[in-house]
Amino acid sequence: MLVWINGPFGGGKTQTAYELRRRLPGSVVCDPEHVGFGLHRMLPPALRGDFQDLPAWRQGVYEVLDLALAKHDGPVLVPMTVIDPAYFEETVGRLRERGHEVHHFALLASRETVLNRLRERAFGRALQLVAGKDAPLRRETFAVRRLDACLESLARPEFAEHLWTDSLPIPQVADTIAESAGLPLLPNTDGPLRGRLRRAATGARHIRFD
């Protein structure tokens, strides 16, 4: 089974994927961004646009996930923003046509909520400490620039199942996804402090410098 966790940049996809992995024995996280980073590193800087526009990225994601689903016994968890319907069909759609069981979830929230979450991310937080809380988000500029398009596109019916997360903590988002997909999660035994520390560690591990 594949669980594709879609949503705007800063919407909680990665945190949710790793919460599911923590409480779902045998599951693995397969992040399609790594395919994109590899393609970017092969290109001169001037040619590094949105890697999703490269046919090689869409084909590579399909082939890697097809292999993982065929060879791995447990659930495959995929945190990735895809808002172009054609690209969605080339990845999620083709995997379904291949016969794989694919559950897709779009994590949605208000614009204000997502902006607040972006400010909470590691680079945004560090920047606020140095330059003041109203400083630009810099490393999050791409995410902010794409936010409105993400929210508008992902609210469309073809990107269901929709999950509004404004008032849902990450463990509850994971619970909701698992229940919908029929996955047996282990109980969440984290207290508030331990949960915050765990999510901070997950965020730190996924800071990007390229």
Segment holding 6, helix H or strand E:
strand 2-6
| Of 170, 196, 197, 123, the residue nearest 5 (C-alpha) | 170
Share of the chain above pLDDT 70, in %: 88
- Each domain of the chain, given as residue ranges in start order, spans 2-185
**DSSP code string of 78-108:** EE-----HHHHIIIIIHHHHTT--EEEEEEE
pLDDT tens track for 46-73: 999 999 999 999 999 999 999 999 999 9
The pLDDT confidence band at residue 128, using thresholds 50, 70 and 90, is very low
> Which superfamily does 2-185 belong to?
P-loop containing nucleotide triphosphate hydrolases (3.40.50.300)
The reported pTM is 0.86
Residue 191 is predicted with a pLDDT of 84
Residue 17 has φ and ψ, to the nearest 5°, of -60, -45
Beta-bridge mates of residue 102: 2
At 135, the pLDDT band (50, 70, 90 cuts) reads very low
CA distance between the termini of the chain = 31
